[in-house]
Amino acid sequence: MSDDAPDIRQQNFRALLRSLPVWDTELPHFDPASAPADPLPLFQQWLTEAAAAGAPEPHTMTLATADATGRPSLRTLMLHDADEHGWHFATHRTSRKGRELAVRPEAALGFYWAALGRQVRIQGMVTAAGAAESRADLAKRSTGALAAALVGRQSEVLASYEELERASDAAWERARREPDAPVGSWTLYVLEAQEVEFFQGDAQRRHVRLNYRRRPPAEGGWTTELLWP
Ligand SMILES: Cc1cc2nc3c(=O)[nH]c(=O)nc-3n(C[C@H](O)[C@H](O)[C@H](O)COP(=O)(O)O)c2cc1C
């Protein structure tokens, strides 16, 4: 490889970034005046519309947490439900995110549905469900999900890929044999939203941002505001 190969690679990479289109499609119009008083039905509507528009895996989201010093980290998770209690997801409480949530039980979620130029940002406090609810959540999922959960040790340093293969083979075998095998660290979490922002991209870059903020419990309900894009 010649000395200038890294430069050429960098140039090609930048050229690629500049050439990639964004919102190369007809985007829906979002009228905030028609939005419901509560963000939940709008979220459900947007996820349903994203699925109908063919958005790949519209129920995946980014979960951001922070450690005790405030250092942030994020990762992709599956959304298991969104209801009057909040947004549900599940993971090992011994994982990095689980440990971060134990010391700082607040988080943010991000959804992006490129097919519709829509983004949703949610922030709030996170509560861990009890063992029975967490078990019930895992029981509803696939054999593969159970096998993955049974492997455990999530976020620990892995000495070799072969070690994972061995653990995974054993976990798949057990998951098939014992579909309700318990996974003690598997935990269902619910994020109760304090803020939910809906972003509708616009071809002329006049994006619509509608932000819901939860009112104090004594008042109940939500206030809404538009945000500059
Ligand atoms: C599409 C997708 C879905 C995922 N869903 C989950 C999930 O529901 N639960 C989970 O623990 N990890 C899930 N992961 C793996 C996480 O992104 C992450 O790698 C793992 O949870 C470890 O995160 P942590 O080390 O920050 O705790 C998913 C990854 C992808 C790419």
19-41 pLDDT, tens per residue? Answer: 999 888 899 999 999 999 999 99
- What span, in angstroms and rounded, lies between the C-alpha atoms of 99 and 217? 28
141 lines ligand 1 (CB under 6 A): no
Q: What is the mean pLDDT of residues 173-193?
A: 97
- What span, in angstroms and rounded, lies between the C-alpha atoms of 42 and 47? 9
Provide the pLDDT for residue 207.
96
Under 8 Å between Cβ of 200 and 34: no
| Ligand 1 center–CA 61 separation, angstroms | 10
Ligand 1, atom nearest to 92 Cα: 11
The helix, strand and coil proportions of the chain, stated in percent and rounded to the nearest 5, come to 35, 30, 35
Q: Express each pLDDT in 87-129 by its tens digit.
A: 999 999 999 999 999 999 999 999 999 999 999 999 999 999 9
Provide the pLDDT for residue 77.
98
Domain extents in the chain: 36-145+182-226
Options 3.30.70.3270, 3.40.50.1220, 2.30.110.10, 3.10.20.600; CATH for 36-145+182-226 is: 2.30.110.10
Under 8 Å between Cβ of 157 and 170: no
Provide the pLDDT for residue 25.
83
75 lines ligand 1 (CB under 6 A): yes
